[in-house]
Amino acid sequence: MITMTLLSILATISFSILYQVPKKAIIPIGVVGMVAWLSYSISLQFSHNVVLASFIGSLIASLLSEAFARFIHMPVVLFAVPGIVVLLPGLLAYSAMKAFVSHQYMTGISMATQTALVAGALASGIAMSGIVAKAIWRKYRVSTPPVR
C-alpha cells in the first residue's frame, strides 16, 4: 500500500514533466495523484466496484485540483489530467486487446465495455467536480465581503 502510494506520486510527477507543467505546480500534482490513488483504492475495498471507485477517485482528485488551481492561479486541467492518469484502466484495455487478438471476441467486447465505462466514470468525475467547485466558489464569494 505504502509502496503503491509512493509509486503513484512518482508516476504522476514524472508524467507531468512530459506535459511541461510549470515548476511550482509539480508538488501539488504529486499530491493530487496520491489522493486519487488513495481514494480509489479505499473506495474499491468498500464497494468492490471498479467503475464506482474510479468515479470517486476522479471526483475527489479533481475537486482537489480545482482547489489548487484557484490557490496557485493556474488552469485546472494542469492538475487534474496528470493527477488522474494513475486511475486509467490500462490493464482492462490491455486485456480487451489481448482477447481480441486471440479471437476471444465475446471476452474482448465485455472487457472493452468495462474499459469504456471506467473511462466514462473518470471523465464524469472531472466534469462534475468543475460544476461543484464553481457552485461552491460562487457561494463562498457571495458570503464574504468584497476585498478592496
Partner 1 sequence: MERTIRHLASGAGIEPQSVQSFVTPTGIFISMTTPTGTTTKLQRIVGPASLNLAKVSAINDLSRRFERNACTLSEALHELDRIEQAPLLYGYWVRVIAAFLSSGSFTLFFGGTGWDFLFGGIAGLLAEIVLEWLIRYVPSLLAVLMAALVASFIGAGISGFLHVPMQGSIIIGSVIPLLPGMALTNSIRDLLAGDLLSGVARGAEAFLVTGSIAVAVALALDLSIYFH
Q: Which is nearer to partner 1, 18 or 142 (CB)?
A: 18
Contact string 61-100 vs partner 1 (x = CB under 8 A): ------------xxx-xx-xxx-xxx-x-xx-xxx-xx-x
Distance between CA 36 and CA 51 in Å, rounded? Answer: 14
Distance between CA 27 and CA 17 in Å, rounded? Answer: 11
Binders of partner 1: how many residues, by CB under 8 A?
A: 43
137 is an interface residue for partner 1 by CB under 8 A:
no
132 is an interface residue for partner 1 by CB under 8 A:
no
Q: Alpha-carbon dihedral of residues 130, 133, 139, 141, nearest 10 degrees? A: -100
Q: Alpha-carbon dihedral of residues 134, 136, 141, 143, nearest 10 degrees? A: 150
Q: Which is nearer to partner 1, 43 or 89 (CB)?
A: 89
CB of residue 127 to partner 1, shortest distance in Å: 5
10 is an interface residue for partner 1 by CB under 8 A:
yes
CB of residue 72 to partner 1, shortest distance in Å: 9
User: Got the DSSP string for 30-54?
Assistant: HHHHHHHHHHHHHHHHHH--HHHHH
CB of residue 145 to partner 1, shortest distance in Å: 20
Cell numbers at residue 127, please? 466534469
Instruction: Report in angstroms the alpha-carbon separations of 122 from 2, 90, 135.
Output: 23, 13, 20
Residues that bind partner 1 (CB under 8 A): 4, 7-8, 10-11, 14-15, 17-23, 25, 73-75, 77-78, 80-82, 84-86, 88, 90-91, 93-95, 97-98, 100-102, 119, 123-124, 126-127, 130
